[in-house]
Amino acid sequence: MTFKVTILGSGSAMPTAGKHNSAHILNVYEQFYLIDCGEGTQIQMRKYGINPMKIRAVFISHLHGDHVYGLQGLISTMNFLKRATPLYVFGVRPLEDILDFHIQYFEPELNFEIIYKEINARSSEIIFENKVMEVYTIPLRHRVPSSGFLFKEKHPALNIKKNIPEKYDLTIPQMHALKQGGDIFLQGSEILKNTDATYYPYSPRSYAYCSDTSYSAKVADIVHGVDLLYHESTYLEVDRKLAKQSGHTTALQAAKIAEKADAGRLLLGHFSSRYEDLELFESEARTIFPNTSLAIEGETFEIPVKNYQQF
Amino acid sequence: MTFKVTILGSGSAMPTAGKHNSAHILNVYEQFYLIDCGEGTQIQMRKYGINPMKIRAVFISHLHGDHVYGLQGLISTMNFLKRATPLYVFGVRPLEDILDFHIQYFEPELNFEIIYKEINARSSEIIFENKVMEVYTIPLRHRVPSSGFLFKEKHPALNIKKNIPEKYDLTIPQMHALKQGGDIFLQGSEILKNTDATYYPYSPRSYAYCSDTSYSAKVADIVHGVDLLYHESTYLEVDRKLAKQSGHTTALQAAKIAEKADAGRLLLGHFSSRYEDLELFESEARTIFPNTSLAIEGETFEIPVKNYQQF
């Protein structure tokens, strides 16, 4: 039931040692997802014990080099390691053309299939779903089409309260019906309401990745109630004008989004290399949203099982 | 009069922390040249104090990802830092198409000119020259067209031996003629031979980069007398068959080239990730060529001024 994010990089523009470009690894039930892929991402994966072969899907927020330059190297390494499993790649146009171009020159004999899924950066849509998770896009405001991603754990299966089967002498089909969310007809006209007989053992968890973007209140609505919100904060409030001009956000603005979204926790990243002391980002954001942390590369942020209960 | 090489990476195929892909920085008289540019090269430059803006020219040996994937990121960083100086890029076709493709998508407003110089990997030719250095290609044998590079310091200007001007009461024009390599007519029919009056204060230095390649005796002829020879040794002799199949060289074969070329010193690199203990490469090569070192990233190999003399 793992649900955690490992930061491989959260520096903006020029990558440097210790300040690699954007790349997050989301581990959901031991399935691995890569969000953005700056130069050196595969090197960071090795450094922090992430096996590139375990990546199921890659989500690219937008086509600026510091978010995508590591992808061709990662694909070459997967091919070198004889990957056979298909790799899903989500991104805006013309990411597919760019990948095809590289593959044609550098990996003409690709051992595995790349399943490209074009996303649009204008509306929030579901783009991926499996048994335990759904992924939605988050329209962002940047100099080029840019989309965040909201990863939502699905509701767990309903459990039947301990005493119920014996109390009502339920049959297997009846218990199955309850687990599917249905009510049960008992003797005569009596009805056993599903809500009286079942419960969710825990609440679904969620993680949102929002980079790159200007301050956008709409983002708060889309990610409302998210447990862990990663929001870019390229600049400090003192450089707010610069942030607006370049399509980025300040730490204070990111905190406003987290507060408006009633997020559980805020992660700041995509720091401009102009700032020496990153603590300033944390302290600025905490004036509005106390539960703020810096997305320092190599750190992992786990979202523990929520509202665990049993009857 | 600096002439030194800094190793930014010498790992093959998959890059990992501490084993970055191929990239060497050659510093000749404080002019910087980049040879190959694997993923993460710009990050390594920062780590080892090389300013990307100081790179005058880039030499790409061949179009395999582990030798070129870092170039697009480096170009983006140069643009981000507002480079105005043209950048020379030497490589085989279709490197220009690949660069143009990237620039069109990722740096449509490039502040500086990229002057692409196509090289052929079939014959040794001079491809670059300035006041102090000449660069020649070295045809290599690999799975794709591959070329090494020989960097040769030019002969220094002739010096006139201390006692000569006074002894023969030389005029300025006569001394100028001597420095140009000419003989001088003295009183009557007497001739002052240039060789008796002048000397070279030191001998030109040279560095050769040979990667990727199978064992090729021709390389030894082209780089004969080189002071510092970097030769790939992807495998150990025990895996000689693998080396041949994949178009690579063993440490022992690299040592044979160094011996045949009468090189001053051998640097081994492009090590396969299959080997834990790199010392084995050094010891294997030293059985034939004792002055062998490993091209470990972060290390700098200086070629001191040779045969310094004055009269």
Distance between alpha carbon A171 and the CA centroid of its chain, in Å? 41
Q: Which of A13, A47, A69 sits opposite B80 (nearest CB)?
A: A13
Going by pLDDT thresholds of 50, 70 and 90, the confidence category of residue B307 is confident
Question: What average pLDDT does this structure show over A64-90?
Answer: 98
At residue A132, the pLDDT reads 95
For residues B216 and A308, the model is more confident at B216
B18 in contact with chain A, both atoms CB, cutoff 8 A? no
Q: How far apart are CA A152 and CA A138, in angstroms?
A: 13
Which of the residues of B are catalytic? 66
Q: Is B257 helix (H, G, I), strand (E, B) or coil?
A: helix
Going by pLDDT thresholds of 50, 70 and 90, the confidence category of residue B132 is very high
Closest residue in B to A94 (Cα) is: B105
At residue B308, the pLDDT reads 86
Provide, as residue numbers in chain B, all residues whose Cβ is less than 8 Å from the Cβ of A101. 98, 101
Question: Of A33, A37, A41, nearest to A64 (Cα)?
Answer: A37
Average pLDDT over chain B, rounded to whole?
Answer: 96
Look at A77 and B17 and tell me if their CB atoms are within 8 Å.
Answer: no
Question: Of A213, A285, A209, A154, nearest to A7 (Cα)?
Answer: A209
Q: What are the distances in angstroms from CA A8 to CA A24, A33, B11, B249?
A: 6, 12, 21, 34
Lowest mean pLDDT among A19-28, B61-70, B189-198: B189-198
At residue B127, the pLDDT reads 98
Provide, as residue numbers in chain B, all residues whose Cβ is less than 8 Å from the Cβ of A109. none
Look at A64 and B94 and tell me if their CB atoms are within 8 Å.
Answer: no
Q: Which of A14, A40, A77 sits opposite B40 (nearest CB)?
A: A40
Q: How far apart are CA A45 and CA B147, in angstroms?
A: 32
Q: pLDDT at residue A57 above 90?
A: yes
Question: What average pLDDT does this structure show over B56-74?
Answer: 98
Q: How far apart are CA A11 and CA A142, in angstroms?
A: 17
- Chain A segment 100-119 residues within 8 A of B by beta carbon are 101, 105-107
Closest residue in B to A43 (Cα) is: B16
Q: What is the pLDDT of residues A97-127, one digit of tens each?
A: 999 999 999 999 999 999 999 999 999 999 9
**Contact of B77 with B42, CB cutoff 8 Å:** yes
Q: Is B52 helix (H, G, I), strand (E, B) or coil?
A: helix
**Contact of B221 with B186, CB cutoff 8 Å:** no
Q: Which of A13, A40, A65 sits opposite B43 (nearest CB)?
A: A40
At residue B247, the pLDDT reads 98
At residue A186, the pLDDT reads 87
Question: What average pLDDT does this structure show over A3-32?
Answer: 95
Q: How far apart are CA B297 and CA B82, in angstroms?
A: 28
Q: What is the pLDDT of residues B224-235, one digit of tens each?
A: 999 999 999 999
Q: Is B211 helix (H, G, I), strand (E, B) or coil?
A: coil
Look at B15 and A98 and tell me if their CB atoms are within 8 Å.
Answer: no
Question: What average pLDDT does this structure show over B64-74?
Answer: 98
Q: Which of B39, B63, B77 sits opposite A40 (nearest CB)?
A: B39
Q: What is the pLDDT of residues B82-115, one digit of tens each?
A: 999 999 999 999 999 999 999 999 999 999 999 9
Q: pLDDT at residue B43 above 90?
A: yes
Closest chain B C-alpha to A106 CA, distance in angstroms: 6
At residue B279, the pLDDT reads 97
At residue A308, the pLDDT reads 86
Q: pLDDT at residue B47 above 90?
A: yes
Task: Compute how many other C-beta atoms are within 10 angstroms of the C-beta atom of residue B105.
Answer: 17
**Long-range interactions of A159-168: CB distance < 8 A, separation 24+:** A159/A198, A159/A199, A159/A200, A159/A201, A159/A310, A159/A311, A160/A197, A160/A198, A161/A197, A161/A198, A161/A199, A161/A311, A162/A310, A162/A311, A163/A311, A164/A192, A164/A197, A168/A192, A168/A197
Residue A309: CA count within 13 A, CB half-sphere: 11
At residue B27, the pLDDT reads 98
Q: Which of A47, A63, A72 sits opposite B65 (nearest CB)?
A: A72
Closest chain B C-alpha to A239 CA, distance in angstroms: 18
pTM (whole model) above 0.80: yes
Question: What average pLDDT does this structure show over A257-261?
Answer: 98
Task: Compute how many other C-beta atoms are within 10 angstroms of the C-beta atom of residue A224.
Answer: 13
Peptide bond into A94 cis (omega under 30): yes
User: What is the per-residue DSSP string for chain A?
Assistant: --EEEEEEE-B-SS-BTTBPBSEEEEEETTEEEEE---TTHHHHHHHTT--GGGEEEEE---S-GGGTTTHHHHHHHHHHTT--S-EEEEE-TTHHHHHHHHHHHH-SS-SS-EEEEE--SSS--EEEE-SSEEEEEEE--SSS--EEEEEEEPPPPPEEPTTHHHHHT--HHHHHHHHTT--EE-STT-EE-HHHHEE-SSB--EEEEE-S----HHHHHHTTT-SEEEEE--B-GGGHHHHHHHT--BHHHHHHHHHHTT-SEEEEE-B-TT-S-THHHHHHHHTT-SSEEE--TT-EEE-PPBS----
A/B interface, count of CB pairs below 8 Å: 82
> For residue B258, what is the enclosing H or E element?
helix B251-260
Going by pLDDT thresholds of 50, 70 and 90, the confidence category of residue B166 is very high
Q: Tell me what ipTM this predicted complex has.
A: 0.92
Q: What is the pLDDT of residues A161-174, one digit of tens each?
A: 999 999 999 999 99
Average pLDDT over chain A, rounded to whole?
Answer: 96
Provide, as residue numbers in chain A, all residues whose Cβ is less than 8 Å from the Cβ of B64. 106
Closest chain A C-alpha to B65 CA, distance in angstroms: 6
Closest chain B C-alpha to A98 CA, distance in angstroms: 8
Q: What are the distances in angstroms from CA A289 to CA A266, A303, B20?
A: 8, 18, 40
Closest residue in A to B38 (Cα) is: A73
Provide, as residue numbers in chain A, all residues whose Cβ is less than 8 Å from the Cβ of B101. 98, 101
Look at A14 and B106 and tell me if their CB atoms are within 8 Å.
Answer: no
Q: Phi/psi of residue A170, each to 5°? A: -70, 145
Q: Which of B44, B47, B73 sits opposite A65 (nearest CB)?
A: B73
Closest chain A C-alpha to B196 CA, distance in angstroms: 55
Q: How far apart are CA B92 and CA A289, in angstroms?
A: 54
Look at B105 and A80 and tell me if their CB atoms are within 8 Å.
Answer: no
Closest chain A C-alpha to B250 CA, distance in angstroms: 20
Q: pLDDT at residue B41 above 90?
A: yes
Q: How far apart are CA B133 and CA B119, in angstroms?
A: 18
Q: Phi/psi of residue A186, each to 5°? A: -100, -165
Burial class (CB in 10 A: 0-12, 13-18, 19+), B156: middle
Q: Which of A14, A65, A80 sits opposite B13 (nearest CB)?
A: A80
At residue A187, the pLDDT reads 81
At residue A180, the pLDDT reads 93
A280 in contact with chain B, both atoms CB, cutoff 8 A? no
Q: pLDDT at residue A189 above 90?
A: no
Q: How far apart are CA B114 and CA B96, in angstroms?
A: 10
For residues A78 and A308, the model is more confident at A78
B17 in contact with chain A, both atoms CB, cutoff 8 A? yes
Question: Of B1, B10, B23, nearest to B267 (Cα)?
Answer: B10
Task: Compute how many other C-beta atoms are within 10 angstroms of the C-beta atom of residue B231.
Answer: 33
Peptide bond into A212 cis (omega under 30): yes
Question: Of A141, A170, A138, nearest to A151 (Cα)?
Answer: A138
Mutation site, A43, A44, A48, A77, interface B, largest B CB count within 10 A: A43
Look at A17 and B47 and tell me if their CB atoms are within 8 Å.
Answer: yes
**Contact of B9 with B19, CB cutoff 8 Å:** yes
At residue B310, the pLDDT reads 79
B43 in contact with chain A, both atoms CB, cutoff 8 A? yes
- Chain A segment 46-65 residues within 8 A of B by beta carbon are 46-47, 63-65
Q: What is the pLDDT of residues B237-284, one digit of tens each?
A: 999 999 999 999 999 999 999 999 999 999 999 999 999 999 999 999
Question: What average pLDDT does this structure show over B274-295?
Answer: 97
Question: What average pLDDT does this structure show over B109-126?
Answer: 97
Q: How far apart are CA B32 and CA B45, in angstroms?
A: 11
A39 in contact with chain B, both atoms CB, cutoff 8 A? yes
B73 in contact with chain A, both atoms CB, cutoff 8 A? yes
Q: How far apart are CA B198 and CA B309, in angstroms?
A: 11
Q: pLDDT at residue A80 above 90?
A: yes
A272 in contact with chain B, both atoms CB, cutoff 8 A? no
Q: How far apart are CA A310 and CA A198, in angstroms?
A: 10
Residue B144: CA count within 13 A, CB half-sphere: 16
Provide, as residue numbers in chain A, all residues whose Cβ is less than 8 Å from the Cβ of B82. none
Q: pLDDT at residue A191 above 90?
A: yes
